[in-house]
A and B are shown apart, each in its own frame.
Chain A
Amino acid sequence: MINIFYPWFKLDALSGFIALAIVGFLALILIYSFKFIKGKPKTFQYYVYIILTALAAIGTVFANNLILLLVCWGFLGLTLYLLIIMGNDDASSAAKKTFIIVGGTDALMLFGIGIIYYMTGTFQMDQIKISLSTNYYLLPTLAYLCLAIACFAKAGAMPFHSWIPDCAKSAPIPVVAFLLASLDKLLGIYLLTRISLDIFTMSQAMNIFLMITGAFTIIAGVMMALVQHNMKRLLGYHAVSQVGYMILGIGSGNPIGIAGGIFHMLNNTIYKSCLFLTAGNVEYRTKTSELDKLGGLGKSMPLTYISSLIASLSISGVPPFNGFVSKWMIYQGLISLLGTGNQGLRIIAIFSLAAAMFGSGLTLASFMKLIHAVFLGRKANWQVKEVPWQMWLPCLILAITCVIFGVLAYQIPLKYFIFPVIKGVSFIGTWSALLSTWLIIIGIVLGLLIFKLRWLRPVLRQDNPFTGSETRDIQENKINGTDFYNTIKELPVLALVYKKAQAGLFDIYEQGKNLVFSIGRVLQYLHNGVLPTYLVWTLLGMIGLFWVLLK
């Protein structure tokens, strides 16, 4: 059907399923927004922007013309900006930063497309095939890097990630869930896949570059997430960290790794938007997202709690949820690199594998903190109810999708979405999802039985502690999860790194700002507003011109 628009638009397996995902998320976010946005100003504008965003996103994935792709892609930056500034009054800084990073990298993308056009003479994407590993590799590599940077910025990989945590904190939650967590990831990784598989033929150096970027993003993102005190910022750093897995998968360069990367992209959008939406639920009721103030909401908001728990387990890669399957595929992709002859590639693969696994553990750790601080832990005086159905339903649907995509991974998502895109995926390990699910369920049930059945467990007694000759309430001593990992902040090397990170040393935006302003100060010093100075410049300029032209 869509091929009547050929060669402008083109439908293939990859763009098809991503467009499907976009539409799905649009539906869920619209349901969620009905309640969330109600009563706020500019409701109409909000819906217009959301729908425009979805249309532009679909245009981006179907575009088969680089200019068309660029126009849709760039337009998304604008709608993102417009949606962020609909947040509170403080959203403007985050919006500014976001648009400078996203829009700025779009300009680089334009440059990359210009080089591609120069080399091939066409904008039609399915006719372009450029090899990065020929002798004449400088220009193609530059073009690839320009496009890859745009993808990194959109998806939020290091070092172009710094807008995500800021934005996650101040933009309206449905916007964060729709754009930051799902659309931008889908599109960024979509384009990265497109350029890495279809438009360019990858060289080993580029694969290594992608793997290092991915591994670094995983570790740095998750380390920052560990020490956050704000729920939304924490999730924002995880949104950064998870991108690392996808890039790692695509960088591995073999079918299983790439399939894992793409599958992880799909899974990530599901559980990450679920997490953001549940964070929105919590904030909707409690009006705060600071972990220090929250706690004990599990009882009063059970559906939100369950959705959030499932999504947390998914993101941490706990079997049998979907995050596990895709991470496991990425690991396999890396492991199969170990068999190759190249020494350097092997070392990088081992390093990235370690980073990925370690990152996965840290993710689990940080989500234990989140779940504990928000839903368990000390009992705060929250007189809250569960959110309205328009808000919990999307979370629940997403959580159930997490389970289905995990348990029935081979039967549904891999079969219909991933394998049509990546041909020739061969697993080197086996994972029988259904069987293991049953085993896990049996295990949990047994555990519960032991815990719950009175005669099987030793007698537990909770009592108020008696210290300093007075009895204290037991609730007072229950700790809030926020400070779980404060010790890592004090480790000698890490302490320095964290300090620098807080000062913005690793933030390309801050560094760029410093550089530009220091040049600006010099120039401002020269522009002192004195007429003779200006005349001297004119004279110097004239001398220069005479020198150049009359030589």
Chain B
Amino acid sequence: MVNIIPFFVIIPLGTAFLISLLGKYVRHFAGIAISLSSAVVLALSISCAVYLSSTADKILVYKIGGWVPPFGISLVLDGLSIFMLVMVSLVSFFVAVYSLSYMERYTDKPKFFTLFSLMVCGMNGIIITGDLFNLFVFLEIASIASYALVAFGTEAEELEASFKYAIMGSVASCFIFIGIAFLYGFTSTLNMADIARVLSVKHSSYVLPFVGTLFLMGFGLKAALVPFHAWLADAHPSAPASISAMLSGILIKTLGVYALIRVFFSIIGSTQAYLSVLMFLGTASLLVAVILALSQWDLKRLLAYHSISQIGYVVLGIGLGTPLGILGGLFHLFNHSIFKSLLFLNSGAIDYCLGTRDLKETSGLAKIMPVTAKTNLIASMSIAGIPPFNGFFSKLIIIFACIQSGHLGYGLCAVIGSILTLASFMKVQKYAFLGRLKDKFKNIKEVPAAMRLSMLALAFICVFGGIMLLMPFRVFLDDAVQAVLRGTHYSSVVFEAVGK
């Protein structure tokens, strides 16, 4: 089973290569290749998840070229990685299916799918790598693919947004790179497990906090935490809807939150100071962004602000550092990836049919676009935390975790954020789907089958997502939480697995 691990990078990379090579000449090649490859990656990740949960130590390490770490690059699959991997492949599969129809509006589908596949390759790489510099490389692959994808429409608005995004993203990469350099200088190694091992014996009162701050800022920028968030509201709405779904749904989580968890929990070790900062930034994000979202009229911009706000919940939960808090944070991460991509796909469907996503223009769409309206209602209820949808349970756990660890104030902020989220999605429902249908939209038909299918499938997961907390599926979440809570024991666990 260990030998499967590199395929999570190889398959998307190979697909990107093949599509750019053949896509132009063979009709439908791009579509078939992308759906096939994302389906295969999804199947592989799920089978890996099943296999991993049956093993005793819940970790798989692949040594590239047979070189033992710290000398060679290793790929590590533990509870947290597989959790992220399943999430990424799930969302990217449905988005790929959706894009088959949606991207008809744009020219040059093969280029799109090449970039798409590269982005997936970058994200998968970040998740499974066990090497800090390797993580940076994959992070850049995913980022650069996403800069290009944001600019895919090549209109003034898209290009401007992409430019801003690229600048901010480069600033982030820069800080992360400096952080890695300092860490390398201090520990003389780049393997994550080895860094953790060295740091446990070698102490410094300056280097670590300094590096920690650089990472916090770099990954905070990637994750769009307040006050590093401003680029997101420009970049995410400008991309094609399916890419917005990928960016908001999984990219900011893999590049930002996952990397943050990996670096702070597994490598540097989470001190109370970092956790407090994370909690504070999380709470600030969830409040500030939701208030901004409330006054937006552009549907996708509204959703983009909600991404910031929901990432705030995730970071708040993880920042609590308690098992319950991390469980809530990770579960919310998963749920958010599902419902936020669904919401962006819905906005894409509206844009596809109406050619506008201004909430002042639309109304009464429930009458002509029943599938979009229903799935959007489900996703809105999920994000607003209405029972029995999945978002409710993760918010509940986060708020309970806040109270349990004595952070009543943060808990109350999370509650207020939840109320405001509900308010803002009520606005979406009212202006987009309810009310009177305008005459000029009378003849519009519901979106094509591929788009409907993806939206329905994601909505299905939203409705039944709460099941993840019940027993056979619970293992999946618990393993991820265990992997986070293991903290800097990560290194000993990895070396033990290598030794086998």
Residues of chain A having any CB pair with chain B under 8 Å: 67, 70-72, 74-75, 77-78, 85, 89-93, 95-96, 99-100, 103-104, 106-108, 110-111, 114-115, 117-118, 516-517, 519-521, 523-524, 527, 529, 531, 533-535, 537-538, 540-542, 544-546, 548-550
- Please, how many angstroms separate the alpha-carbon atoms of A161 and B133 in the complex? 58
B288 contacts the other chain (CB 8 A): yes
- Cross-chain contact of A104 among B291, B422, B435 (Cβ < 8 A): B422
Q: Is the beta-carbon distance between B435 and A516 smaller than 8 angstroms?
A: no
- Cross-chain contact of A520 among B217, B231, B294 (Cβ < 8 A): B294
Which residues on A sit within 8 Å (CB–CB) of B210?
Answer: 550
Starting from the known contacts A527-B233, A538-B171, A538-B227, 12 additional A-B residue pairs (CB-CB under 8 Å) come to A74-B392, A78-B387, A100-B419, A103-B419, A110-B399, A114-B400, A520-B292, A520-B294, A534-B230, A542-B213, A544-B227, A548-B277
Q: Is the beta-carbon distance between A517 and B231 smaller than 8 angstroms?
A: no
B411 contacts the other chain (CB 8 A): yes
Q: Is the beta-carbon distance between A100 and B234 smaller than 8 angstroms?
A: no
- Please, how many angstroms separate the alpha-carbon atoms of A74 and B364 in the complex? 26
Q: Is the beta-carbon distance between B403 and A118 smaller than 8 angstroms?
A: yes
CB<8 Å pairs between A and B, sample of 26 = A74-B386, A78-B387, A95-B430, A96-B426, A96-B427, A99-B422, A103-B384, A104-B423, A107-B418, A110-B415, A111-B411, A114-B396, A118-B404, A516-B423, A527-B233, A531-B168, A534-B168, A537-B228, A538-B168, A538-B217, A541-B217, A541-B220, A545-B217, A548-B277, A549-B274, A550-B210
Q: Is the beta-carbon distance between A99 and B426 smaller than 8 angstroms?
A: yes
Which residues on A sit within 8 Å (CB–CB) of B388?
Answer: 71, 74-75
B477 contacts the other chain (CB 8 A): no
Q: Within the complex, what minimum Cβ distance (angstroms) separates A545 from chain B? A: 5
B198 contacts the other chain (CB 8 A): no
- Please, how many angstroms separate the alpha-carbon atoms of A208 and B395 in the complex? 33
- Please, how many angstroms separate the alpha-carbon atoms of A534 and B227 in the complex? 9
Q: Is the beta-carbon distance between A92 and B435 smaller than 8 angstroms?
A: yes
- Which B residues between 354 and 406 are near A, CB-CB below 8 angstroms? 364, 381, 384-388, 392, 395-396, 399-400, 402-404
B167 contacts the other chain (CB 8 A): yes
Which residues on B sit within 8 Å (CB–CB) of A110?
Answer: 395-396, 399, 415
- Which B residues between 409 and 454 are near A, CB-CB below 8 angstroms? 411-412, 415, 418-420, 422-423, 426-427, 429-430, 434-436
- Cross-chain contact of B295 among A75, A106, A524 (Cβ < 8 A): A524
B41 contacts the other chain (CB 8 A): no
| A contacts with B: majority SS | helix
| A107-B385, A107-B415, A549-B274 known; A537 vs B212 contact (CB < 8 Å) | no
B72 contacts the other chain (CB 8 A): no
- Please, how many angstroms separate the alpha-carbon atoms of A546 and B388 in the complex? 42
- Please, how many angstroms separate the alpha-carbon atoms of A201 and B404 in the complex? 23
Q: Within the complex, what minimum Cβ distance (angstroms) separates B154 from chain A? A: 19
Q: Is the beta-carbon distance between B292 and A524 smaller than 8 angstroms?
A: yes
Which residues on B sit within 8 Å (CB–CB) of A108?
Answer: 415, 419
Residues of chain B having any CB pair with chain A under 8 Å: 163-164, 167-168, 171, 206, 209-210, 212-213, 216-217, 220-221, 227-228, 230-231, 233-234, 273-274, 277, 288, 291-292, 294-295, 364, 381, 384-388, 392, 395-396, 399-400, 402-404, 408, 411-412, 415, 418-420, 422-423, 426-427, 429-430, 434-436
Which residues on B sit within 8 Å (CB–CB) of A72?
Answer: 387
Q: Within the complex, what minimum Cβ distance (angstroms) separates B277 from chain A? A: 6
Q: Is the beta-carbon distance between B227 and A540 smaller than 8 angstroms?
A: yes
- Please, how many angstroms separate the alpha-carbon atoms of A220 and B412 in the complex? 30
Q: Is the beta-carbon distance between A114 and B168 smaller than 8 angstroms?
A: no
Which residues on B sit within 8 Å (CB–CB) of A95?
Answer: 426, 430, 434
- Please, how many angstroms separate the alpha-carbon atoms of A58 and B192 in the complex? 54
Q: Is the beta-carbon distance between A529 and B404 smaller than 8 angstroms?
A: no
Q: Is the beta-carbon distance between A523 and B411 smaller than 8 angstroms?
A: no
Q: Within the complex, what minimum Cβ distance (angstroms) separates B302 from chain A? A: 12
- Cross-chain contact of A550 among B213, B408, B430 (Cβ < 8 A): B213
Q: Is the beta-carbon distance between B213 and A111 smaller than 8 angstroms?
A: no
Which residues on B sit within 8 Å (CB–CB) of A118?
Answer: 400, 403-404
- Please, how many angstroms separate the alpha-carbon atoms of A62 and B420 in the complex? 30
Smallest CB-CB separation from B427: which chain A residue?
A96
Which residues on A sit within 8 Å (CB–CB) of B209?
Answer: 549-550
- Please, how many angstroms separate the alpha-carbon atoms of A67 and B171 in the complex? 45
- Please, how many angstroms separate the alpha-carbon atoms of A103 and B227 in the complex? 29
- Cross-chain contact of A100 among B163, B292, B423 (Cβ < 8 A): B423
| A100-B423, A516-B291, A546-B213 known; A115 vs B403 contact (CB < 8 Å) | yes
Q: Is the beta-carbon distance between B387 and A71 smaller than 8 angstroms?
A: yes
Q: Is the beta-carbon distance between B295 and A517 smaller than 8 angstroms?
A: yes
Q: Within the complex, what minimum Cβ distance (angstroms) separates A314 from chain B? A: 36
Q: Is the beta-carbon distance between B171 and A517 smaller than 8 angstroms?
A: no
Smallest CB-CB separation from B412: which chain A residue?
A111
Q: Within the complex, what minimum Cβ distance (angstroms) separates B121 from chain A? A: 28
Q: Which 7 pairs show the lowest CB-CB distances between chains A and B?
A: A92-B434, A104-B419, A74-B387, A534-B230, A114-B403, A541-B227, A71-B387
Q: Within the complex, what minimum Cβ distance (angstroms) separates A523 from chain B? A: 5
- Please, how many angstroms separate the alpha-carbon atoms of A91 and B386 in the complex? 21
Which residues on A sit within 8 Å (CB–CB) of B395?
Answer: 110
- Cross-chain contact of A517 among B294, B400, B429 (Cβ < 8 A): B294
| A100-B422, A111-B403, A531-B167 known; A545 vs B364 contact (CB < 8 Å) | no
Interface centre among B221, B227, B228, B392 (most CB of A within 10 A): B227
Which residues on B sit within 8 Å (CB–CB) of A545?
Answer: 213, 216-217, 277
